[in-house]
Structure 1
Amino acid sequence: MHIEEKIYTYITTNNLIPKNCEVIVGVSGGADSMMLLYYLAKYKERFKIKLRVAHINHMMRQEASSDMEFVRQTCKNLGVEFNSLESDVEKIARAKKISSEECGRQIRYEFFNSLANTPTTKIATAHNANDQVETMLMRFLRGTDVRGLRGILEKRDNIIRPILCLSRDEIEFYCKQYNIEYKTDSTNMLSIYTRNKLRLDVLPYISKHINKNIVHTLLEHRELYKEEEEFLQSYIDICIAKYVTYDSSSYNIDLIAFNLEKTYIQKKLILEVLVKLIGTSYNISTKHVNIAIQFVNSASSGKKLDFPAEILLIKTSHSLVFTNKHIAPITTCSLQLGDNIFKDYTITLTKLKNISKTLLKPHENVYTKYIDYDKIKNGLQIRSKLEGDTIKTPNGTQKIKKIFINNKIPLHKKSQIPLIVDENNVIYIVGYMINCDYYINNQTKNVLEIKYKSHTP
């Protein structure tokens, strides 16, 4: 099959490029991305797409600036919009304490997504079949499961890989056939990076001494791993729907239901939740998941386990809680009459003039409370608990810290419980109690109804 038809068949079979959509192509100037750019520019009318280019200067090589100008000029010649970003990847990587490879990857996708004009915009990267094999082998050596052995996906969210079906040899042949000029990254020939070591040393050795068809063998098995993962994922989705909940900052797995599953399914569930929280499986290995299983089986209630990417696993008496180690407290914000809409909930304030006798009785709904409107002195605000906060109860003044302890509120949730305050006076601990100084009585003339509604099930 001709290379161009091979790409077209791959794109249409996997539904990578819908008609009338915008496609942003990540172009470094190398053979892979230049070949992809020329192909899409040649057939943009056939696909009915608007084409744009994104280039990043990682400031890691002397020739980086000239590469950027080369891509800029190519886009001008092709009549394609050019967008660029200069970013000191090594400096940022040191600050984040991550590898320059991972840092560069993060910066690339952040930049690509910042350029997307519509929800249907596609971001096309020039990964090829050789990249696929290197990725599969790298994940296997680091430790992964069937999900990782699927390698690079044809598409993920808005990201597409239109030439994943081509080998590096096919790409270079295409460039030669159509006189497509490209730049060669000098760092690709240095064995200082993991992927380069696999490309330059490991795979050639395997091909020469162990399996001359190693690339074909791995690609063939990838299809099997993909089918197995799809079957397993369907069961994991059922488990998540049944006994995994999300409450704005954390995922909670019902411990009783979790313990009834086979160990393999438990591992898959832990991995799934970690990926949902972190957004990628890049820094998660089989080792991390195995440590989590050991922790679940041996740790007592209240114990914690650190994960990569600032994730914390907390075991309680009835659940496994996966949360971000540094959860931002609620930003102090003024409340107005009507709907006050926040990311995870809405608080509705309604002033009532007609006092019903039923309002004088204790109100059972913990998320709807009534207070004496005229006792509010300075206007209401919402915020998280502060050190030293107290609330007036019928049994005297109590520290909110003690109330949280008595109600067995987990540590990771304490900063996420909204407090409604009148200057320094806590009026309402949402979901728990109101300040008795603001109770309504027979002398109350105006009532404020406070309703809290969560945006999550």
Structure 2
Amino acid sequence: MENTFKNHINKQLPFLKDSRLLIAISGGLDSVVLTHLCKNAGLNVALAHCNFNLRPGDCDQDETFVVALADALDTEVFVQSFDTNAFSEAHKISTQMAARDLRYTWFNELITLLKFDYVLTAHHADDALETVLINLSRGTGLDGLTGIPEVNETVVRPLLPFSRAEIENYAKINNIEWREDSSNASTKYLRNKLRHDIIPQLKEINPQFLSNFKNTLSHLKASQAIVNESLDLVLKEAVLFSDAVTTKFSISVLQDLKSTEAFLYEIFKDFGFNSGAAIGDLMTAQSGKQLLSDTHLLLKNRAELVLTLKSESDGEDCITITQGVERIKINSGTLVITEVASISEHNANTVFVDKDSLQFPLTVRAWENGDYFYPLGMQGKKKLSKFFKDEKLSVLEKERAELLCTNDDIVWVINKRLDNRFKVTENTTQILKITIEA
């Protein structure tokens, strides 16, 4: 196995040879064997051990074991203790999710502070099989059937080609000691039930089951690459606009696709939308209809689908700006107010205002039916509802529109138009430059 591991690093993960690596080590069989293999392969590694304090006594013994192993291998080790149960309760998540969040947050801190390049975890082929079966039982697409990625940003899993049986055999041949986690024997967790009850039966039915699974995984990943390539070509045509918050898609381009529902699922699944059929129905619905996921909103707006992050509004109906305030956070960004000696060109994000025409405090609020203002460059007043219609704003853009006001008068429809009553004139003595920063 040692030579096979070295060959795998040389052929598939050569970047690890010139990197500073952090091994996530529990003290169990898999991570201990990974540590020995990396040391014997001459990789530059340090160890990182999490004490989750979930098994009284055992967790402390795991920590002692890992520290002793690091000393025996003359390897740097980092240890962090967590109150996992308290974190789980505070964030209303399962103990397993809490432990995962805590460990990866800490790993990222070590990478940033101590300049490590990658974290190595000891996931192997059996883990990948368990993950696919879990995803299959819950319902999944192609991504969920391709197992655990070998490289995912700064996380690398060099043991994925190897089975648990190979890893255990290597440990026994080389007299390597490890710690057994008693919780791994419990079948109350789905993963453990698969590991102890279901997968052994599958292997009994077909002794080549794991090997065949790895071959299938390889074929599925190749198919996924083809899908991704097709998806990239579709998105080049379908995406009309995109920034950090909003992406607009051409409905006509999406409707002309063969297997439209399949493409819709692949395009929008990472944003929490898991039904291509529902998105297909949205494309033929009336303008203004929308779908919501936990993180995003998908809106039908005329000939477009508009995907946007949900607003992270602080919930205030009205924000007050007292005189002298230079920066203040509002829903659409940060409002910056400065005194200047002269004006430059107006644009959507910046206006220049006659300070003496304002009465502080100013306010920022959402628009309401019946609101009107005097648009710069036009004669007379105009209702905001008519202004928004003429500007061809989507339902979502209307909902998120914000107004800068003095008393009850609108000074600026933020990011859209200044009110003519507050513009700088030849009689202006004090000029305020007001900018919205994303």
Normalised to the residue count of structure 2, the TM-score between the two structures is 0.79
Residue 304 of structure 2, aligned match among 296, 319, 322: 319
For the aligned residue pairs, the C-alpha RMSD in angstroms reads: 4.2
1:161 maps to 157
| Helix, strand or coil at the partner of 2:99 | helix
Deviation at 1:84, TM superposition (A): 1.4
Gaps of 5+ in 2: none
Report the counterpart of residue 136 of structure 1 in structure 2: 132
How far apart in 1 are the matches of 2:57 and 2:397? 49
User: How far off is 1:146 after superposition?
Assistant: 2.4
Paired residues of 2:142 and 2:224 also in contact (CA < 8 A): yes
What residue is the counterpart of 1:393 in the other structure? 374
1:443 to 418, 421, 427: 427
1:29 aligned onto 2:19: no
Q: Is the 8 A contact 2:23 2:120 kept in 1?
A: yes
1:344/1:131 CA distance change after superposition, 3 Å: farther
Runs of 5+ consecutive residues of structure 1 not aligned to the other structure: 279-283
Label 1:374 to 1:259 Cα distance change in 2 as closer, same or farther (>3 A). Answer: same
Specify the code of the residue in structure 2 equivalent to 1:37.
Answer: T
How many correspondences in the alignment? Answer: 428
Question: Which amino acid is the alignment partner of residue 327 of structure 1?
Answer: E
Distance in structure 1 (CA, Å) of the matches to 2:175 and 2:337: 68
Mapping of residues 33-112 of structure 1, within 5 Å: 33-43=31-41, 46-47=42-43, 49-57=44-52, 59=54, 63-78=58-73, 79-89=75-85, 92-93=87-88, 98-112=93-107
Amino acid in the other structure paired with 2:421: D
Q: How far is the alpha carbon of 1:417 from its aligned partner? A: 5.3
In the alignment, is the contact (CA less than 8 A) between 1:338 and 1:350 conserved in 2? yes
Tell me by how many angstroms 1:61 deviates. 6.4
Shift of 1:335: 11
Which amino acid in structure 2 is aligned with residue 440 of structure 1?
Answer: V
- Could you tell me which amino acid in structure 2 is paired with residue 75 of structure 1? A
Partner of 2:259: 263
Deviations 1:402-446, CA, capped at 9 Å, x for gaps: 976886655655676565567997532332122333112231245
Contact 1:274/1:322 (CA < 8 Å) preserved in 2?
Answer: no
Residue aligned with 2:275, SS: helix
CA contact (8 A) 2:335 2:435 kept: yes
Output aligned runs, 1:8-407, within 5 Å.
Answer: 8-15=6-13, 17-43=15-41, 46-47=42-43, 49-57=44-52, 59=54, 63-78=58-73, 79-89=75-85, 92-93=87-88, 98-117=93-112, 121-209=117-205, 211-244=206-239, 245-263=241-259, 266-275=261-270, 277=271, 288-290=274-276, 292-293=278-279, 295-296=281-282, 299-307=285-293, 309-325=294-310, 327-329=312-314, 353=341, 365-375=347-357, 385=366, 392-393=373-374, 395=380
CA separation of 1:427 and 1:225: change in aligned 2, threshold 3 A: same
Identity %, equivalent residues:
25
Residue pairs, 1:411-430, within 5 angstroms: 413=397, 427-430=411-414
Structure 1 stretch displaced more, 412-421 or 74-83 = 412-421
C-alpha separation between the residues in 2 aligned to 1:87 and 1:254?
49
Partner Cα distance (1:74, 1:196) in 2: 27
Measure, in 1, the Cα distance between the counterparts of 2:36 and 2:235: 43
CA contact (8 A) 2:326 2:337 kept: yes
Partners of 2:373 and 2:381 within 8 A in 1: yes
- Per-residue deviation, 1:25: 1.6
Contact in 2 for aligned 1:337/1:351 (Cα 8 Å)? no
Partners of 1:25 and 1:123 within 8 A in 2: yes
Higher relative contact order, chain-length normalized (CA < 8 Å, sep 6+): 1
- The equivalent of 1:281 in structure 2 is none
The 2-side partners of 1:4 and 1:336 are apart by 68
**Letter of the 1:163 counterpart:** L
